[in-house]
Amino acid sequence: MKRPLITSTCLALALAATSCGKAEEQGGGAVGGGGEGGATAAAPGVTEDTITLGALMDLTAVFAANSRSILQGANLYWDSVNADGGVCGREVELDVQDHGYDPQQAVSLYQTMSDNVLAIAPVLGSSVITALRPSFEEDDMLVGMAAWTSDVLPDPRFQITGTTYDVETINAIDWLTREHGLQSGDSIGVVYFEGDFGGSSLRGAEYAAEELGLTVVPHQIKPSDTDLSAQVNAMANEGVDAIIVAAASPQTASIASVAQSIGLDVPIVGNAPAFTPNLMDTPAGPALEENFYTSTSMAPPSLDEEGVTEFLTAYEAEYPDEEPIQNGAMYGYASAQIMHEVLMRACEEDDLTREGLLDALRSITDYESGGTVAGVLDYSDPAVPPTREVYISKADPNAPGGLTAVGESFTSDLAEAYEFTG
C-alpha cells in the first residue's frame, strides 16, 4: 500500500526512534481550502496536492515507545483517509521531528518546521508544550497535543483528545471509593513527575481527597527515577490504601513490583502515560495483573466498540507482531480522527488556513468517535476539556494492548463539579 503520510525514508527513521527531516519543503503561498480546487488565503503547509502537519515526538527518551506507537496509529488512520481521496482532494503528510523530551530542542525544531506546516498534530510532552506555547500563540497554530495537562486551558489553540490528567485522577479516586472500599480517613499515595503532567494529576487527587475526606501522600519524582523502592516503602510505612501513578511505564513497573515484594496489596491506578503492554512480559507482569488499572478517556484497544474494533483490525493487520498501546497507537488513531473532522469542516468552509482550523475545532459540539475516546466530544468552550468521561481498564496479559475495560465509561459527580482554574 502506498504510504503518503510520511515519505518512506522518514517513516522508517521515525519508527526506528530516530530523528527525521521534513517530508518535503513547502512554503506558505499555497491555496487554502476548496474541495474542488477553490483558492482562499495563503496557508502554510498546504499545496494543491498535500496538507502537511507537524509532529514533535520523543523518539529517543523516556516516552520513545509511546511516540513510536502514536505514529503507528496516526499512520493507520491517515493511510485510510488518503486511500479514500484525502482531504479537499489533498493527501495528508506528517513532518516528524524528534525532540527527545527536551523542551529546548523542541523549540529549535519547531522554529525550523513552523513555516511549512498547517498545524502541529501531534506534539508529545507537557513540558514541551509549555515551552512552545508562546510560539504557538504567535503563529496562531492549532495543536493536537499528545498530553492531557489542564494547564493549557483556556487556550483555544489546543485539541485535547479526551479529558485532562486532573479529571482522570478525580474519576479514578471516585471509582476506588465505589469499587475498592476507599473511604473517609484513608490515605492515597500519589507518585508524580515534576512538571505539568504530575502537577495536574496531583491537583485532581487533592481536590478529590478534600471532597471525600482522604489524605494525600505525595511523592514527586523525575523521569530518570526508575527504582522507586524508597517511595513505595515510605508509602507502606504511611499506610496508604491506594496509589495513583502520574509517571511513565518504567515507574509503574517499579511501583507494582516493589509493592508486591513488601506485601503492600493496594490498587494502583495510572494516568494515561503510565502503562505500556510490554510491561506484562516483564517480572512486573504478575503484580500489574493483580493490582494495576488505568483511568483515561482513551479506549483500551480490546474494547468492543465499532471505532476501536476498526482500529484493532487495521493495527493487527499492519503490525502483527506488536501490541497496540492505549495512549500510543490508540491515541494516535483517535487524535487523527478528530483532526480529520477539523480539516473537513475547514474545507467545507473553503478556509483551509490556520484561522480556519481553529474556527472549525470550536464548531465541534457533538463528535462521536465510535468509542476510541470516551463520551461525546464538545470543543466549543476552550476553558474546559471536550469530555470528562473516562474508561477504567485493568491490566490483562491476554487482552490486546494488555488492558480490559472495567465496566462502562463514566463521569463521576466529583469530576462534573470540578472547576478549572486556568
Taking only the tens place, the pLDDT of each residue in 85-98 is 999 999 999 999 99
Predicted confidence at residue 422, as pLDDT, reads 60
Q: Contact, 57 vs 14, CB < 8 A?
A: yes
d(CA 380, CA 118): 21
Taking only the tens place, the pLDDT of each residue in 196-210 is 899 999 999 999 999
Q: What cell numbers appear for 378 in the block?
A: 464538545
Query: Quick one: pLDDT band at residue 222, thresholds 50, 70, 90?
Result: very high
Q: Please report, rounded to a whole number, the percentage of residues in the chain having pLDDT higher than 90.
A: 83
In the predicted structure, residue 181 carries a pLDDT above the cut 70 = yes
| Average pLDDT of the residues in 28-48 | 59
In the predicted structure, residue 66 carries a pLDDT above the cut 90 = no
Q: Check whether residue 171 and residue 243 sit in a common domain.
A: yes
Q: Check whether residue 140 and residue 63 sit in a common domain.
A: yes
d(CA 161, CA 158): 9
Give DSSP secondary structure letters for 106-159.
HHHHHHHHGGG-SEEEEEE-HHHHHHHHHHHHHHT--EEEE---GGGTT-TTEE
Residue 259 in any domain: the answer is: yes
Q: Which residues of 326-346 are buried (b: 16+ CB within 10 A; e: fewer)?
A: bbbbbbbbbbbbbbbbbbbbb
Q: Check whether residue 413 and residue 268 sit in a common domain.
A: yes
Asked if omega into 154 is within 30° of 0 (cis), the reply is yes
Query: Quick one: pLDDT band at residue 11, thresholds 50, 70, 90?
Result: very low
In the predicted structure, residue 69 carries a pLDDT above the cut 50 = yes
Global pTM reads 0.88
Please list the residues that pair with 296 across neighbouring strands. Answer: 391
Q: Check whether residue 273 and residue 210 sit in a common domain.
A: yes
Residue 80 in any domain: the answer is: yes
d(CA 335, CA 325): 14
Residue 16 in any domain: the answer is: no
In the predicted structure, residue 14 carries a pLDDT above the cut 70 = no
In the predicted structure, residue 191 carries a pLDDT above the cut 60 = yes
| Average pLDDT of the residues in 228-242 | 98
Q: How many C-beta neighbours within 10 Å does residue 178 have?
A: 11
Predicted confidence at residue 147, as pLDDT, reads 86
CATH assignment of the domain containing 126: 3.40.50.2300
Q: Check whether residue 261 and residue 370 sit in a common domain.
A: no
Q: Contact, 59 vs 51, CB < 8 A?
A: no
Residue 134 in any domain: the answer is: yes
Q: Check whether residue 99 and residue 133 sit in a common domain.
A: yes
Predicted confidence at residue 372, as pLDDT, reads 97
Residue 398 in any domain: the answer is: no
In the predicted structure, residue 329 carries a pLDDT above the cut 60 = yes
Average pLDDT, the chain: 90
In the predicted structure, residue 257 carries a pLDDT above the cut 80 = yes
Predicted confidence at residue 272, as pLDDT, reads 87
Query: Quick one: pLDDT band at residue 126, thresholds 50, 70, 90?
Result: confident
Q: Check whether residue 281 and residue 324 sit in a common domain.
A: no
In the predicted structure, residue 24 carries a pLDDT above the cut 70 = no
Number of domain units in the chain: 2
Residue 146 in any domain: the answer is: yes
Q: Check whether residue 246 and residue 259 sit in a common domain.
A: yes
Computed from CA positions of residues 161, 163, 165, 169, in that sequence, does the dihedral angle turn out positive or negative? negative
Greatest mean pLDDT among 26-35, 40-49, 131-140 lies in: 131-140
Q: Check whether residue 281 and residue 186 sit in a common domain.
A: yes
Interhelix angle 354-362/331-348, nearest 10 degrees: 110
Q: 220-224, 289-293, 356-360 — which is least confidently predicted?
A: 220-224
- Note down the domain range covering 176: 165-296+409-417
**DSSP code of residue 278:** G
Q: Check whether residue 270 and residue 413 sit in a common domain.
A: yes
Q: Contact, 248 vs 194, CB < 8 A?
A: no
Residue 14 in any domain: the answer is: no
Q: Residue holding cell 497507537?
A: 329
Exposed, middle or buried: residue 318 (CB in 10 Å: 0-12, 13-18, 19+)? Answer: middle
Strands 158-160 and 143-146: parallel
Query: Quick one: pLDDT band at residue 13, thresholds 50, 70, 90?
Result: very low
Taking only the tens place, the pLDDT of each residue in 261-271 is 999 999 999 99
Cα→Cα distances 129→62, 158, 276, Å:
16, 10, 22
| Average pLDDT of the residues in 163-173 | 97
Q: Check whether residue 307 and residue 158 sit in a common domain.
A: yes
Residue 144 in any domain: the answer is: yes
Q: Check whether residue 278 and residue 191 sit in a common domain.
A: yes
For residues 354 and 63, which has the higher predicted lDDT (pLDDT)? Answer: 354
